[in-house]
Amino acid sequence: MSTLYLGDTVPDFEQETSIGRIRFHEWAGDSWVVLFSHPADFTPVCTTELGLTGKLQPEFEKRNVRAIAISVDDVESHRTWAKDIEDTQNTIVGFPIIADKDKSVATLYDMIHPNQSGTATVRAVFIIDPAKKLRLTLTYPLSIGRNFDEILRVIDALQLSDAYGVATPGNWRDGDDVIVPLSLQDENLIREKFPKGYRAERPYLRFTPQPNK
């Protein structure tokens, strides 16, 4: 079992999935990836989450994101479960579900927390950039469903920060003002980088309109 830190290159692996065997880094290609784990197939919270993922595929595609789920059940179980998800959630499960029956991937990514369960994975989320670097993690207890609005929000924030060198304030959403980072102090550079100008609430707290809006 290893601990993954933000900025680490995520481990590669080869495993069976509901769409066939994949090598993770090769499958991810030049996309961002949301890898999220589930305690088991045919569980109610997971069913709603995978349904949401299916419905959000257009939103993920707009952001160059590939979603991939993981559960410790086998491929046939995943495929049967996917039909239930599609029937009950009115969507299509067009993304792979990793069949981690031997728990090798769960162990590699430290998804099993013994004080929650010795066998089931917690509800972990890993957001991975095209360079295969871990950019964000979220960990939920077994009984609590994830907030997919937040997952999309942080992807937007990460991509904006990478593209324009800005930071985002609390509760930021696409279109809101962003923050000029403290690392940028030269006024000429600030004016060049942010031609829309900025307002300084304090010398250390400077807001500027979102650069790509």
Residues assigned a catalytic role: 46
From the list 66, 60, 96, 65, the residue with the least C-alpha distance to 81 is 96
Evaluate whether 166 touches 66 at the Cβ level (below 8 Å).
no
161's CB contacts (< 8 A; 6+ apart) are 167, 168
Helices (H), the chain: 24-28, 44-55, 57-62, 75-89, 104-108, 148-164, 187-193
- Written as one letter, the residue type at 196 is K
Burial class of 102 by CB neighbour count within 10 A (0 to 12, 13 to 18, 19+): exposed
175's CB contacts (< 8 A; 6+ apart) are 210, 213
Q: What angle do CA 111, 130, 207 make, to 5 degrees?
A: 95
d(CA 144, CA 136): 19
Per-residue tokens: 7: 């900025």
